Amino acid sequence: MRALALAFVLVLAVAASAVAHELTLSAAISMKEAVEQIGRQFVAGHPGTTLRFNFGSSGELQKQIEAGAPVDVFISAASRQMDELQQKDLILPATRRNFARNVLVVIKPADSTIDLVHPGDLLDPRVRRIVIGNPKTVPVGQYAEESLRSAGLWERIQPKLVFAENVRQALDYVARGEVEAGFVYTTDFAARTERVREAFRPGEDTYRPVIYPAAVVKASKYPAVAQAFVEGLLSRDARGVLQRLGFQPSVRTP
């Protein structure tokens, strides 16, 4: 009986250790596939750790953290949201790392017959609707606004704009033919090439660099494990995943 009791206690201990470190990762939805793949690598190397994923626009994820959502790691598609959380003392600055970069692209439905080669072509009367992420909360929309302002088109193009809640929604609008053009990242476009086509790439000097920072949220229950995940984003295996999905390398620190 004592042997059975001991075995039972050991089973309980193993079960408890299996969920001892459950991390919640709030990540920009444009990083979804990459974070999931890197997450599987991380779990394989850290027995007893489980990951929960929360994907959305960086601005909405920022609001959730500000409201006290139980998040361990925040991965943003822009420095702006991370900067604001850092100013509010809601992340651990020493854990912050830049780990990837992206590029803006304008796409159109695969069956579109409208020639879009330059930003000014968006003024063509045949282009009735253009989708961008909502600049209030969606980094891809903020980059799009910067680029359109740089081209002197922002005010003139206002009547055509449709705002999406995140970059994947913008991609879906174009793929379904609900709009004539849309601003997304090159990595999102690459995932849907059978239904959309690249129209043109805005000059990279017309918007801030698309940098992805990650950091441990100050309220994390497992800051050491969370930091290990953030550092893992800079590992050779993680860089391989990011490169395969079309992301470009970035500097190590902000």
The answer to whether residues 230 and 214 touch, using CB atoms and an 8 Å cutoff, is yes
Distances 119 to 1, 33, 110, 179, 180 between C-alpha atoms, Å: 78, 30, 19, 16, 13
Q: For residue 14, give the DSSP letter.
A: H
Q: Do 50 and 141 share a structural domain?
A: no
Instruction: Give the contacts of 204 (CB within 8 A, at least 6 positions apart).
Output: 103, 104
| Residue 252 pLDDT grade (very low, low, confident, very high; cuts 50, 70, 90) | very low
State the CATH number of the domain containing residue 177.
3.40.190.10
Q: What is the torsional sign of CA 162, 26, 242, 148?
A: positive
Q: Is the pLDDT of residue 8 over 50?
A: no
Distance CA 209, CA 204 (A): 7
Determine, yes or no, domain membership for 94. yes
Mean pLDDT score of the chain: 91
Determine, yes or no, domain membership for 254. no
Distance CA 25, CA 142 (A): 23
Q: Do 216 and 96 share a structural domain?
A: yes
Determine, yes or no, domain membership for 13. yes
Determine, yes or no, domain membership for 205. no
Determine, yes or no, domain membership for 170. yes
The answer to whether residues 217 and 208 touch, using CB atoms and an 8 Å cutoff, is no
Q: What percent of the chain has pLDDT over 90?
A: 86
Q: Do 172 and 232 share a structural domain?
A: no
Q: Per-residue b/e over 120-157, b at no fewer than 16 CB within 10 Å?
A: ebbeeeebeebbbbbbebbbbbbbbbbbbeebebeeeb
Q: Do 166 and 139 share a structural domain?
A: yes
Q: What is the pLDDT of residues 128-156, one digit of tens each?
A: 999 999 999 999 999 999 999 999 999 99
Q: Do 122 and 109 share a structural domain?
A: yes
Mean pLDDT of 211-219: 98
Q: Do 228 and 160 share a structural domain?
A: no
Q: Is the pLDDT of residue 7 over 80?
A: no
- 233 three-state secondary structure: coil
Q: Do 166 and 81 share a structural domain?
A: no
Mean pLDDT of 46-73: 96
Q: Do 143 and 58 share a structural domain?
A: no
Last residue of one domain, picked from the residues 165, 180, 200: 200
Query: Nearest 5°: CA angle at 179, between 176 and 181?
Result: 110
What total of structural domains would you count in the chain? 2
Determine, yes or no, domain membership for 249. no
Q: Do 97 and 41 share a structural domain?
A: yes
Q: Containing domain of residue 109, as a range?
A: 104-200
Q: Do 96 and 217 share a structural domain?
A: yes
Q: What is the 3-state secondary structure (H, E, C) of 50-97?
A: EEEEEEECHHHHHHHHHCCCCCCEEECCCHHHHHHHHHCCCECHHHCE
Q: Do 77 and 38 share a structural domain?
A: yes
Predicted pLDDT at 148: 98
Predicted pLDDT at 251: 58
Predicted pLDDT at 10: 39
Determine, yes or no, domain membership for 63. yes
Q: For residue 249, give the DSSP letter.
A: P
Determine, yes or no, domain membership for 251. no
Q: Do 112 and 25 share a structural domain?
A: no
